[in-house]
């Protein structure tokens, strides 16, 4: 599972838009003229990853104002989940090992993260942050080290990792092990994407592509889906698959996106159970009913053996996974379309 993201680094995302199948309807204006809806776009960064919002709507002023509301919501949520903002709730929790009266969003997402950790037997674990910090420190000082941190050091730090030692109840959140720290970077971008999609849907926008680290696509009933290209993580110009997305979400995880060392031997997605970099596949893309699930599952599946991951996917209705295996083969499981 990935840890703290550098603000200048897209930690593990390789999603691209191969083609937007807009299927735009014609709107009739007051003068009886057919008006083609306009496409409105914002680009920036969310939790260190490249981000884009695309809205299709005839009212430019409304679209721009709503994009502004979405960015306010993103900024609010970053103050909850960020690991590089000193004023975030998560940073304060990690510093004190406890937090009374956490916000609704922190409580809700942490609950989701702990549920996913139990579902995946710890392949997804929000307490992996100490391991991430260990690797980041080691390769900051020894960027060309071929061996990485020593096995005893990894074992010592792993003693602070274990989602079972996070207490979440009506009194607040407590981290029960010495040296424990949380990261929600393997799921927070999905949660933020979902909250923005909800805001847009409530505001009356039904043709939307929200790419805020993860992807959420809104499409009116009966209209063409958005078409999302999934690039090869080592060959950015090569699209390995194009997936149709309508009122569903998508996330891709690949350790190749964020190596710790110069040679790329050690990646940012860590197996919480071994303390080692994930090497099960080049990348895994998950399509799910919402971006929170897609984000968290893609992180877990990048760690797990393919057969175990496929079993987990099969237990989630409306969910599918696309694996790019280390030999270059593609494997599809579950519901991708």
Tens of pLDDT along the chain (337 residues) come to 655 433 333 334 434 433 333 333 333 334 443 445 789 999 998 877 788 999 999 999 999 999 999 999 999 999 999 998 999 999 999 999 999 999 999 999 999 999 999 999 999 999 999 999 999 999 999 999 999 999 999 999 999 999 999 999 999 999 999 999 999 999 999 999 999 999 999 999 999 999 998 999 999 998 999 999 998 887 767 899 999 999 999 999 987 777 888 888 888 899 999 999 887 788 999 999 999 999 999 999 999 999 999 999 988 889 999 999 988 899 999 988 7
Phi and psi at 53, nearest 5°, equal: -120, 130
3 state SS of 153: helix
Q: How far is CA 174 from the centre of its chain?
A: 24
Number of H helices, E strands in the chain: 8, 16
Q: Taking the model in full, what pTM does it have? A: 0.89
Instruction: Tell me the two tokens of residue 103.
Output: 């916000």
DSSP summary character for residue 270: B
Q: Is the dihedral of CA 140, 144, 148, 149 positive or negative?
A: negative
DSSP summary character for residue 256: G
Rounded to whole angstroms, the Cα distance separating 145 from 10 reads 23
């Amino acid at each position: 599972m990935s840890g703290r993201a550098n603000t200048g680094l897209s930690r593990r995302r390789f999603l691209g838009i191969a083609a937007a199948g807009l299927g735009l309807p014609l709107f009739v204006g007051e003068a009886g003229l057919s008006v083609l809806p306009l496409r409105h776009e914002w680009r920036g960064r969310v939790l260190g990853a490249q981000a884009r919002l695309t809205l299709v709507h005839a009212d430019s002023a409304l679209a721009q104002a709503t994009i502004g509301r979405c960015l306010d919501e993103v900024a609010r949520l970053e103050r909850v989940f960020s690991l590089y903002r000193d004023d975030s709730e998560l940073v304060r929790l990690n510093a004190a090992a406890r937090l009374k009266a956490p916000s609704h969003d922190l409580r809700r997402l942490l609950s989701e993260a702990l549920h996913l950790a139990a579902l995946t037997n710890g392949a997804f674990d929000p307490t992996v942050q100490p391991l991430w910090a260990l690797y980041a420190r080691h390769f900051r000082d020894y960027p060309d080290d071929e061996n990485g941190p020593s096995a005893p050091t990894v074992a010592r730090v792993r003693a602070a990792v274990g989602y079972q030692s996070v207490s979440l109840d009506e009194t607040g959140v407590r981290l029960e092990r010495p040296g424990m720290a949380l990261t929600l970077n393997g799921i927070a971008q999905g949660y933020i994407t979902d909250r923005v999609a909800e805001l847009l849907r409530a505001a009356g926008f039904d043709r939307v592509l929200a790419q805020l680290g993860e992807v959420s696509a809104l499409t009116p009933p009966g209209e063409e889906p958005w078409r999302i290209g999934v690039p090869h993580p080592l060959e950015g110009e090569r699209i390995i698959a194009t997936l149709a997305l309508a009122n569903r979400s998508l996330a891709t995880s690949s350790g190749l996106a964020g190596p710790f060392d110069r040679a790329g031997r050690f990646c940012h997605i860590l197996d919480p159970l071994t303390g080692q970099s994930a090497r099960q596949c080049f990348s895994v893309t998950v399509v799910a009913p919402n971006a929170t699930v897609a984000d968290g599952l893609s992180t877990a599946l990048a760690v797990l053996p393919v057969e175990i991951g496929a079993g987990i996917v099969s237990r989630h209705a409306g969910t599918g996974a696309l694996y790019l295996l280390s030999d270059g083969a593609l494997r599809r499981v579950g519901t991708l379309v």
